[in-house]
């Protein structure tokens, strides 16, 4: 069964993302794009030209009419991206909250919040897990202590914090509509291409990467485009939120591979943490926490590096006994060595 393809952006995801970006201006700078490109081994200048002008115009138009007070500004300036994604997914899954949250009993909000944390943030908890069990799981998770604290505050004051977020979204709907108008013309083509591509049902590299990281993920029921996160894909409980330019980014990676360029892979293994991961996997398959403990890295850092290693075919994934195991793919390593021997005539 083909998923439902939405031809419009989700206001909740866009508004929260726009406010976050406006309070974290470094994410709009060229240096940030260059860092992202370096992670993937692709051309930073090309990545910046691909979608920075549209995204920056979108954010600038939103900022002109953005309504936010000082306390809310502090919240968005200090919020971690993982916490932001959670808030976006939670409100996107519960659209009725936007206009009715003030009348919803706190116990009901708390129950939905706990379900969301169990589904999106903490793996392996039973459906009936208690609040204390969820709090303990958060403390033992791969989240940074500062992010755990943000979730704990949300758990302790669900009504207050969720109502605050709903009010922020409502107040900024006019600013969002204005921002959409400002980018209406340049946005038309990527939106049409997105809809055409997704309706064709053809698999893309982003889906392949997601399935590699989550081998038993449930089928996708709906697909929604994102502009504020143009090169990300977020899949939760059958809903897939896809950046408008994610296919372009993966195509850039594929083009380098077709050109038989070793540079992207050399950049990947040139990073000391990624190299250490590969050396560790050379001794045998390992799961995320095992690698993290062995290398003295956080589980989140290992997951971040693993996306690049999987993308370049250096690591494969297999789910066994409820865990995702990573295995070194040695053939690409042999190809790199052969390329270097050929280049330097060794």
Residues 298-322 have a mean pLDDT of: 76
Which pTM was predicted? 0.75
The C-alpha atoms of residue 87 and residue 93 are separated, in whole angstroms, by 10
Q: What is the 3-state secondary structure (H, E, C) of 235-271?
A: EECCEEEEECCHHHHHHHHHHHHHCCCCHHHHHHHHC
Angle (CA) 218-222-227 rounded to 5° is 115
For 72-76, 154-158, 191-195, 335-339, which range has the lowest pLDDT when averaged over its residues? 335-339
For 66-80, 89-103, 160-174, which range has the lowest pLDDT when averaged over its residues? 66-80
The C-alpha atoms of residue 47 and residue 231 are separated, in whole angstroms, by 10
Residues 150-175 have a mean pLDDT of: 90
pLDDT recorded at residue 1: 59
Structure token pair of residue 107: 């116990």
pLDDT recorded at residue 35: 80
Class of domain 260-343: mainly alpha
The C-alpha atoms of residue 240 and residue 221 are separated, in whole angstroms, by 8
For 32-36, 199-203, 252-256, 276-280, which range has the lowest pLDDT when averaged over its residues? 199-203
What residue spans define the domains of the chain? 10-183, 260-343
Sheet hosting strand 286-287, strand order edge to edge: 286-287, 323-328, 315-320
Look-up of token digits 């794009």: 33
Residues 200-209 have a mean pLDDT of: 55
The C-alpha atoms of residue 189 and residue 185 are separated, in whole angstroms, by 8
Query: Percent of the chain having pLDDT more than 90?
Result: 20
Three-state secondary-structure class, residue 31: helix
The C-alpha atoms of residue 89 and residue 140 are separated, in whole angstroms, by 23
């Amino acid at each position: 069964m083909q998923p439902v393809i939405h031809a419009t952006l989700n206001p909740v995801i866009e508004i929260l993302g726009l406010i976050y970006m406006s309070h974290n201006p470094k994410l709009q700078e060229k240096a940030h794009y260059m860092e992202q490109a370096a992670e993937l081994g692709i051309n930073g200048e090309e990545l910046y030209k691909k979608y920075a002008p549209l995204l920056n115009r979108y954010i600038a138009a939103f900022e002109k009419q953005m309504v936010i007070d000082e306390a809310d500004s502090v919240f968005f300036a200090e919020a971690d991206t993982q916490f932001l994604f959670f808030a976006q997914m939670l409100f996107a899954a519960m659209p009725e909250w936007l206009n009715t949250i003030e009348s919803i009993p706190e116990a009901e909000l708390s129950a939905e919040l706990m379900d969301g944390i169990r589904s999106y943030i903490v793996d392996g908890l039973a459906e009936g897990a208690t609040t204390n069990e969820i709090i303990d799981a958060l403390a033992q998770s791969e989240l940074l202590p500062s992010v755990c604290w943000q979730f704990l505050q949300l758990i302790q004051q669900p009504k207050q914090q969720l109502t605050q977020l709903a009010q922020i979204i409502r107040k900024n709907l006019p600013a969002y509509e204005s921002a959409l108008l400002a980018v209406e013309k340049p946005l038309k083509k990527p939106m049409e291409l997105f809809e055409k591509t997704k309706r064709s049902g053809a698999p893309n590299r982003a889906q392949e990467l997601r399935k590699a990281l989550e081998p038993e993920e449930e089928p996708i029921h709906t697909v929604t485009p994102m502009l504020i996160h143009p090169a990300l894909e977020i899949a939760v409980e059958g809903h897939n939120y896809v950046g408008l330019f994610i296919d372009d980014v993966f195509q850039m990676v594929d083009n380098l591979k077709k050109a038989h360029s070793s540079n992207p892979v050399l950049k990947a293994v040139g990073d000391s943490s990624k190299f250490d991961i590969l050396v560790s996997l050379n001794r045998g398959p390992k799961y995320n926490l095992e690698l993290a403990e062995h290398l003295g890295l956080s589980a989140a850092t290992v997951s971040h590096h693993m996306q690049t290693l999987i993308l370049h075919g250096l690591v494969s994934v297999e789910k066994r006994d409820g865990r995702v195991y990573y295995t070194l793919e040695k053939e690409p390593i042999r190809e790199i060595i052969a390329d270097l021997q050929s280049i330097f005539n060794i």
